[in-house]
Structure 1
Amino acid sequence: MAFDPSTLRRDDYGFFGPDSPSWKVWAAPTALIGFQRAVTLEHFDPFLTAAVADSHGIYDNPATRLDHTLSYFLLVALGDGRTAVQAAEHLMKVHAPMTGIEPISGKRYSANNPDAQLWIHITGWHSVLKAYEMYGPGPLSHDEEDRYWAECAIAAELQTCKPADVPRTRAEVHAYFERVRPQLCVSERAIEGMHYLLWTPPSKGWHFAVGSRLLSLATIPTLPLWMRRLGRFALPRAVDPAVRIPARAIAWTSARRDNWALIKAAPYIAPMTGEILAAHRAATPVADPATITPAQARQRYGDQGTVRAEHATA
């Protein structure tokens, strides 16, 4: 997925705009912790584990694969309508051939399946907010949080998620997690994937290996104990409070001058992510300083040939 920084916001403010909690949370340096949390959590869904394992993307080139995935979330949260809808359609095309048989159940999986896409979407938005609350400025105000989850539901319109299934409040998000919990499990491939993301081997680049390990010290304490035990990556409980102060200090330092330190480090870890954050920081004027809806963006800029049909239910 190529990205031209000058096109991040050429037309409008996208779906949310400068005063939105989505801009605040997704542009914070804590989003890196939240993202590692999200891609780890994805492996508790056996169908997504099968898709990830069969495609082998995170094992062949984890830095590029994860950079592109985080970039997608950032483009939807921070980009204009044209950028967001084109990124979403590109992602669906990439996911379209990712189908196969999930070995635990023997059922068919599809990376574009609505349930799988909803799990990816909710764990992403929830994890980034969780990291922001723990290591960033703290909880959003009540009104901001209500708006954040409303914006999360708007962003879900770009994926194959069924609108009626998308939670729109913190309580509905918690109810969603309770509803899907009986379907979650781990396998050898799931544990391998989670551990690979938390502790990427040095053979994939020392900078990325070191970065994943440092992030994991902050990521793991954000997870409930049952997930840590199930995933076999439970750190001693003493690590939780011990890591919070230095993690908050690093996040605060990185946030100074609008992510200057993070942007400078990005070429060595996540180049496209860095370009997006740099373009966001530049705050160039837009043609129309207003927000639009995903439906409007799709009508104006969408590719009518994009595959949007119903996918096999896992």
Structure 2
Amino acid sequence: MAFDPTTLRRDDYGFFGPDSPSWKIWTAPTAVIGFQRAVVLEHFDPFLTAAVADSRGIYSDPRKRLDHTFSYFLIAAIADGRTAIQAAEHLMKVHAPMTGIEPISGNRYSANSPETQLWIHITGWHSVLKAYEVFGPGPLSPAEEARYWDECAIAAELQTCNPDDVPRSREEVRAYFAKVRPRLCTSERAEEGMHHLLWTSYRNGAGISYAIGSRLLSLASVATLPKWMRKLGRFDRPGIVDLAIKLPAKVLVWGFSRFNSFGLLTAAPFIAPMAGQILKEHLNAQPPTELKTVTPSEARSLYGTMGRRAVAEVG
């Protein structure tokens, strides 16, 4: 995904704006923990596992693949409308050829299917909020949380998600997870993916810094996952480890938040270069040309090259 960080916020404030909970949560140090949680959790969906396993991107170049995925989430949350729409359209094109047969059910999968895109979207937005609550400042106020889930639904418009299926509250998110749980499962390929994401090898282009980073993050991210998932994915551990990691992780998060320019931004190039550039530009960005927010439909009509129907039909 080609991206010039200096264009992050040229036209407007994007979809949410400076006072939004999405800006606060997606740019907090805890978002990195939440992102690792999300990409591990996603593997319990057999259709997504099939797409990831067949493409092999997280194995052949894990640093680049995951950096680009995290960068997309950041762009959707904090970039201007033009950048977000262009990133979404690029992602649809990348996903278009990712189709095949899911071996457990024998059914066809498509990385652009509304169900798969909704699973990715909800696990991502839920996971960064969960990490923020556990290791960051704590729960949002009721008004902020209501706004956060409204913003989550707005961001879902960038993908092929069916708007009627997108949860708009914590209760609806819980209902969504309960609804999809019967089709969640694990497999040899799912375990391979989850374990690789938690304990990435330094080989295949990841490098020592990324390998160490994934292991350190896993200490915190695993602590936020339900016990049944940890057992199913064969990465469970004693509860005492969860208790032992909580305070040190909170202290580190506080330190990164307090000394951002020396902490998170210094470490980012070694772990997620593009995401680090986006975060740096976000922190240093000048006000956009127009001090307003836009909707995804407005941004698509101004800057998009694919209509909503065309986007939904890619792949």
1:300 to 279, 299, 302: 302
Q: 1:309 to 1:125 in 2, by over 3 A?
A: closer
2:82 touches 2:299 (CA, 8 Å); kept in 1? yes
Residue by residue over 1:211-241, the C-alpha shift from the partner in whole angstroms, topping out at 9 and shown as x without a partner, is 0000000000100000000000001110111
Gaps of 5+ in 1: none
Distance 1:67 1:90 in 2: 15
For 1:78, the equivalent position in structure 2 comes to 78
Q: Which moved more, 1:254-263 or 1:41-50?
A: 254-263
The residue identity in structure 1 corresponding to 2:17 is G
Q: Superposition pairs for residues 145-164 of structure 1, below 5 Å?
A: 145-164=145-164
Matched, 1:141 2:141: yes
Residue by residue over 1:185-222, the C-alpha shift from the partner in whole angstroms, topping out at 9 and shown as x without a partner, is 00000000000000001223111110000000000010
Q: CA deviation at 1:310?
A: 3.8
For 1:106, the equivalent position in structure 2 comes to 106
Q: CA deviation at 1:2?
A: 1.5
2:102 touches 2:108 (CA, 8 Å); kept in 1? yes
Q: Which moved more, 1:274-283 or 1:302-311?
A: 302-311
TM-score (norm 2): 0.97
For 1:47, the equivalent position in structure 2 comes to 47
For 1:232, the equivalent position in structure 2 comes to 234
For 1:281, the equivalent position in structure 2 comes to 283
Distance 1:311 1:56 in 2: 21
Residue by residue over 1:253-305, the C-alpha shift from the partner in whole angstroms, topping out at 9 and shown as x without a partner, is 11124454111111111100000000000031210010000000000000137
Residue by residue over 1:53-81, the C-alpha shift from the partner in whole angstroms, topping out at 9 and shown as x without a partner, is 00000000000000000000000101000
In structure 1, the residue corresponding to 2:311 is in which secondary structure? Answer: coil
Matched, 1:166 2:169: no
The residue identity in structure 1 corresponding to 2:293 is T
For 1:126, the equivalent position in structure 2 comes to 126
For 2:60, the equivalent position in structure 1 comes to 60
1:258 touches 1:281 (CA, 8 Å); kept in 2? no
TM-score (norm 1): 0.97
Distance 2:28 2:73 in 1: 13
Q: Please list every run of at least 4 consecutive aligned residues from structure 1 whose deviation after the TM superposition is greater than 3 angstroms.
A: 257-260, 309-312
2:81 touches 2:299 (CA, 8 Å); kept in 1? yes
Distance 2:68 2:81 in 1: 18
2:118 touches 2:161 (CA, 8 Å); kept in 1? yes
Gaps of 5+ in 2: none
For 2:3, the equivalent position in structure 1 comes to 3
For 2:248, the equivalent position in structure 1 comes to 246
RMSD: 1.2
2:210 touches 2:271 (CA, 8 Å); kept in 1? yes
Distance 1:21 1:208 in 2: 29
Distance 2:188 2:208 in 1: 25
Residue by residue over 1:98-155, the C-alpha shift from the partner in whole angstroms, topping out at 9 and shown as x without a partner, is 0000000000000000000000000000000000000001100000000000000000
Distance 1:311 1:130 in 2: 32
For 1:36, the equivalent position in structure 2 comes to 36
The residue identity in structure 2 corresponding to 1:216 is S
